[in-house]
Structure formats: structure tokens, C-alpha cells
Amino acid sequence: MATIKEVAAKTGLSPTTVSRVINNHPYVDPKKRKLVLTAMEELGYVPNSSARRLRGQRTNTIAVIISRIVNPFFGHLVDAMEKIAAERGYQLILCDSRLEKERELQQLELLKTKQVDGIILASLQNRWKDIEPYTRFGPIISCNEYDSAADMPMIVCDQEYGGYIGTKHLIDRGHKNIAYAGGTDRIELTRDRFAGFKRAMMEAGIPIVDDYLFPSFYGIEDGKNIFHRMYAMENRPTAIFAGGDEVAAGVIQEAKRFHCRVPDDLAVVGFDNQPLADLIDPGITTIDQPTKLMGTRAMEMMVDMIRHNREVTYKKELLPLQLIIREST
Amino acid sequence: MATIKEVAAKTGLSPTTVSRVINNHPYVDPKKRKLVLTAMEELGYVPNSSARRLRGQRTNTIAVIISRIVNPFFGHLVDAMEKIAAERGYQLILCDSRLEKERELQQLELLKTKQVDGIILASLQNRWKDIEPYTRFGPIISCNEYDSAADMPMIVCDQEYGGYIGTKHLIDRGHKNIAYAGGTDRIELTRDRFAGFKRAMMEAGIPIVDDYLFPSFYGIEDGKNIFHRMYAMENRPTAIFAGGDEVAAGVIQEAKRFHCRVPDDLAVVGFDNQPLADLIDPGITTIDQPTKLMGTRAMEMMVDMIRHNREVTYKKELLPLQLIIREST
DNA sequence: CTGAAAGCGCTTACAG
DNA sequence: CTGAAAGCGCTTACAG
């Protein structure tokens, strides 16, 4: 692999001048510039990025941490981020925390070891106090998930409102026995959604039944399990607000298998508005998250922070959430 | 950020010794080792990876190029790869070619500029002659897609067989008017699948109707379009072998909307066996690809090649494909 | 078991 | 407009 020295030798110029050509500096004799360019071409020269990183103290790489890449929601989020990153000349390192705290912390080390210029947290396994120490080493922002105790920029959706409109919709349809599959309390996002659920229920004067509340779940299989737990109840819920479209899809599929009609016997509301929600039968009423917009904004902000050395301070950017009504309610 | 020099200064030892501690070299006085460890701890020292990269000429980073991350097939493939990479201490750079040749070539440059130690091509936009020059700079292997003209290792499935069993299944169900949504000829994988289709048709003595052949398609919307093109025909096909489950899902959804019964009026076979295939109604008969196994094997092989400086030579590892029968046929 | 020195391949003040 | 020199932060022969 040719180095800058070899290019210099071949042209009879100094490495300094070659470097200036590479970096499009002004003040290089046009003839010499051309000479260098030809030599680079002939030698197949390409600058060594490790050397540039070490010298320049930048990596042009950004890490994004998600919790489960097989969740299509994250697929779309990452897609939007990758697009902006590529446009702006940044590489994307994909980190999957697999919902584990330790993995997330290890991935945050990338910033310390100077392997990335910044990190976007699209999921959050650790508390702010454990994440905060890393902010000293470069910009960290959150996108999708958030922690209001955190002193970092966040691009998020109004989850309380999402929880509210989904629940209100079920109430408006005449339901009172409403189950809720909410995710763990550990995550603020799910707490806020649940707060929206509670607000809607309270406004309507409907008591919340503990047995109808299901903890943290993520995939199709979890949806199936939840259905069975509801099905086994004496007093079955007539509706469920699931934590995501995959969970909702699992509920619906199993309901159909057990001849439980959706929405007549069981109404189902999902979350995310994934393509899946429109594909299965009946289509899933769900809360649309502006996934693409979130990813785009987060990456734009990250690049901006890296480029302008912007200070990392609290800033919450709220994006709109919207009820999409289909046949499952 | 503390450097190795500061650790050395603090301990009164040389950077050499500190380096040896960092890298777990033998022959370091246990007391001094402990001394260094404490100093590193106190200073919050972490080795700068750019310096290590430059010095060591390795990056511990692997790029994977896919063509469309929102395709759940790639989501699962990347998931399996990320798992192995993380286990082995490698970072994963995600590159989405978005089906564009130029982007893929630019992503291959990562190897030249020493930003990655190796590249896994999970999709292939360029011909071998355009990819080959990059092999000089590090290991490149393909996974999923392939090019038999290529002199590189490939972890792939027997697509011809996949095309064959899917088609044979439709023929066994009594179909003669079978449409095929095949992808472009540019890609060998799709050519092979199509060859399997043709073999099955020929064996059964069924002529292939040009109007029933649809070119390259990938998503749900494409499936919908294909349905409409078939629906508009005078002599409608009674079955279709779609290029992927998403396409199949689009066909099925639109068929239902137009009261075309699946499988009675139109039988549908997909490809990939994505979770989606089991979720929609009717479930999609499809060809199961061992996605996880492919990703795992590819990453294992890549790490092995990087570690042992294995020569990059042709080697085709064929994984099994399997027909999954559901209600769409 | 330990350290001084060289060098990985760049870029950037500095001097001219 | 150009070049010599220093230095980014490591690691690895080499010598002891």
C-alpha cells in the first residue's frame, strides 16, 4: 500500500505538499497539484485512515446503539440514520445492546477509546448516572428512548400522549375491560405511555385492573403468551393496548387460532405503525411513530454537534404521534 | 484524556512497560503490573484505538454490506453476524448499498483506507471484475448473494434447488399457469432460482409464459403492483412464486382486497420464511433460508481469515433450503 | 524483567 | 507557494 512518502518521492515534492493536495488546500501550484494527482492515481494511493484519525483526533464514525435489530422499528430507524450519515460522510457502527446493561456500557466505551466521534442511543438500558461519565468524551444524544433526568439532547415522541390516544380510542369504542401490555417500569418511555393509559382511564372513570397489566414484552411470541394469559381469565378483557405491533400481531394471530374474534371479542391496539400492521388481517389499529423523521433528526443533530463542537446540554425535541385506525378495533 | 505517557510518568515506569501491562504480556513484575493497573484506573486511562490501529495495522472492525436494511431478512442476517463479531471482539460497520453500484464500490474503499479488516458482502451490486481489485487489501467474502465467476469464499444457499422445490410444490398442487416474480437477471442468485423454476416446469412439460414473468421486485408495494398486473390479464395465472415473503404478502393483501381467494383463485409461494410469513392470513408457503446460520458462518469465517491471514480463495459453502407449507397454497 | 528508540502515516504550525 | 520538523499515541524489535 502506497504511502504519502512514496507519492512525494515519485513527484519530487514534499509530503507536506502532497498532503495539501489530498486535503484540497489552496496555495498549491496548479501544475504540481496535477503532478501529485497523477502520481496518486498511478500508485493507487489512498490515505490511511488510522493515521488521519490519530493525527486529526476525529474518526468520522458514529455509533448507534439499539436494543434489537430484528425489530423492524429499529430497522427503519437505522435506515434513516444511515442515509444522513452517508450523505454527510460518516460511517455507522451498529451496536446491539440486546437489552443488556453491560453490553451498552461496553459500547459506550467506543467513545472513550476514540473509535467514534459520537453516539446515538436509540435505546437505553442504563440509568443516566451510569451514562453521564461518558459524555466527557464526546457527544451522546438519545433518540426514541429517553431519560428526563438526563442532561443530553433527545429526539423523542410524546409517549404519554400516545398512550392516551390509544386508550381513549378503545374507551370511545365502548370498552371498559382494557388490558395493557406495557413494558418494564425501568424504562421511562413505557412509564410515560402507561401514564397516558392511566389518564385516559381516569378521565373515563374506569378502574384499572391489576390482572390486566402485563409487563415488558417485545416480540410476536410474547404477544401469543399474553393472549393465553388473558384467555385463561375468568373475566377476560375485551380489549388490549399492546406495547408494539409485533406483540399486537402475536395476540391477534393466537386469538384467531382460538376462534376469538378480533375486534368483536377482543379489540387490539398496537404501537409503531410498522408495515406489518397493515398487512395482517385484521389490520392493526396503532400509534404511528415518525420513525424516519426521528432517525433523520437525530443524525442531523449528531453531525452538527460533532462538526461545531456543540456543547451537550439538555434539549428535548418532541415529535408528533398519531392514531391510525384499522380493523382490529 | 490520559495517555500511556502519563501513566508511565505517574508510575515512574516506561511507556514500554505500561504497554506490556495493557497487552497482558508475560515478563512484567507482578508488583509493577499492579502499580500500572492502579494508575490506569486512577487516571481513567483507556488506550487510544486510532494509535493502536496505526501501529498494529488492524482495526478490529468488519464491514457488512447489505442492500436494504429494512428488509427483515437482512435484519436477521445482520443480527447473527453482530452476535459473533461482538463475541470475537470485532465492531460491525453497517453499509447499505441501497442497490446502487456506486455506493457499494465506495463502501469497498473502506478496506483500502484501512478502516476495516475485512468485508462481508451480503448483497452484490457489482460484477466480480469490479470487486476483485479490492481483494488485494484484505479479505472479502460473500454471504447470501454470490457470483460464481468470483474467486472468493461464499456462504450461500442452493437457490436453484429453492426455485425448484417451490415450483414443484405448485405443480403438485395442480397448477399450470404459474407466474414468477424473479428479480433481475443481473443477479446470479435470482438467475439460479429462475433456473430451478424452469427445471421444474420442464420436468412437468409445462410451457413458460413470458407474460407471467415479472422482473426485479423487493417490497410489499411491488407485490401489490404485480397482483394488479396479473389481475388485468385475460388469462390470469392461478399461482405465483414470488421473490420474497414481502412481495408475497403484498400480492396476498391486494388479492384479498379484490376478493380473489388465496389459495383457491391464486396460490402464492414466497421466499425467506420471515416471521411475517406465519403472521399474515393465509400463512405464506415459502422457502426457508437458514438466515441465522448463514450470518454466523460468514462472520466466523471472516474472523478466521483475518486472524490467520488466510488466503482468499474460492470456496463455496452450500447451506440447505427447505419448503415450508402453509395456507397460501 | 525493563527501557530507549524507532516508526506506523499522516497533518499542521512555523519559517521561508 | 513550499518544505523540514514535530508530534498524534501507541507497540515492537533490540539491547541490556
3-state secondary structure of B57: coil
Round to whole Å and give the CA distance between B90 and A269.
40
Round to whole Å and give the CA distance between B30 and B24.
11
Strands of the sheet containing A178-181, edge to edge, are A213-214, A178-181, A239-241, A267-269
Does residue A52 sit within a domain? Answer: no
Does residue A326 sit within a domain? Answer: no
User: For A238-272, how does the pLDDT look when each residue is reduced to its tens digit (9 = 90+)?
Assistant: 999 998 899 999 999 999 999 999 999 999 999 99
- Quote the pLDDT of residue A224: 94
Round to whole Å and give the CA distance between A166 and A289.
13
| B54: CB within 7 A of chain D nucleic strand | yes
- Quote the pLDDT of residue A1: 76
Taking residues A268-296, report their average pLDDT. 95
- Whether A186 shows a pLDDT value over 90: the answer reads no
Does residue A327 sit within a domain? Answer: no
**Does residue B40 sit in the same domain as residue B133?**
no
**Does residue A284 sit in the same domain as residue A311?**
no
B69 contacts A82? CB cut-off 8 A: yes
**Does residue A39 sit in the same domain as residue A66?**
no
Indicate which CATH number applies to the domain containing B29. Answer: 1.10.260.40
Indicate which CATH number applies to the domain containing A85. Answer: 3.40.50.2300
Q: Which three cell numbers stand for residue B133?
A: 481489485
Does residue A85 sit within a domain? Answer: yes
Distance set, CA A172 to CA A176, B31, B100 (Å): 10, 72, 48
Q: A224 and A253 in contact (C-beta within 8 Å)? A: yes
Give the one of B54, B91, B256 whose C-beta lies nearest to A50's C-beta: B54
- Quote the pLDDT of residue B26: 83
Number of domains in chain A: 3
Position B227 confidence tier, pLDDT thresholds 50, 70, 90: very high
CA of A113 to C1' of D12 (A): 21
Round to whole Å and give the CA distance between B130 and A163.
52
Distance set, CA B177 to CA A5, A137, A199, A300 (Å): 66, 63, 57, 51
Taking residues A53-82, report their average pLDDT. 94
Position B218 confidence tier, pLDDT thresholds 50, 70, 90: confident
Rg, chain A, Cα only: 25
**Does residue B113 sit in the same domain as residue B150?**
yes
Round to whole Å and give the CA distance between A10 and B268.
63
Round to whole Å and give the CA distance between B242 and A213.
41
CA of B259 to C1' of D14 (A): 82
Does residue B232 sit within a domain? Answer: yes
Burial A243-261 (b: 16+ CB within 10 A, else e): bbbbbbbbbbbbbbeeebe
Does residue A83 sit within a domain? Answer: yes
**Does residue B193 sit in the same domain as residue B119?**
no
Round to whole Å and give the CA distance between B299 and A220.
27
Asked whether the bond before B275 is cis by omega within 30 degrees of 0, the reply is no
| A116: CB within 7 A of chain D nucleic strand | no
**Does residue A247 sit in the same domain as residue A280?**
yes
User: What is the span of the domain harbouring residue B202?
Assistant: 159-288
Q: Which three cell numbers stand for residue B213?
A: 414473468
User: For B103-154, how does the pLDDT look when each residue is reduced to its tens digit (9 = 90+)?
Assistant: 999 999 999 999 999 999 999 999 999 999 999 899 999 999 999 899 999 9
3-state secondary structure of A147: coil
A contact test, residue of B92, B115, B257 with most A CBs within 10 A = B115
**Does residue B278 sit in the same domain as residue B297?**
no
Distance set, CA A277 to CA A177, A182, A201, A249, A324 (Å): 23, 18, 25, 8, 10
Round to whole Å and give the CA distance between B43 and B149.
54
Does residue B53 sit within a domain? Answer: no
B76 contact residues in A (CB cutoff 8 A): 70
**Does residue B146 sit in the same domain as residue B242?**
no
Does residue A215 sit within a domain? Answer: yes
Q: Which residue has the higher pLDDT, B98 or B1?
A: B98
Q: Which three cell numbers stand for residue B36?
A: 500500572
**Does residue B103 sit in the same domain as residue B142?**
yes
A280 contacts B281? CB cut-off 8 A: yes
**Does residue B173 sit in the same domain as residue B141?**
no
- Quote the pLDDT of residue B186: 76
**Does residue B226 sit in the same domain as residue B307?**
no
**Does residue B41 sit in the same domain as residue B65?**
no
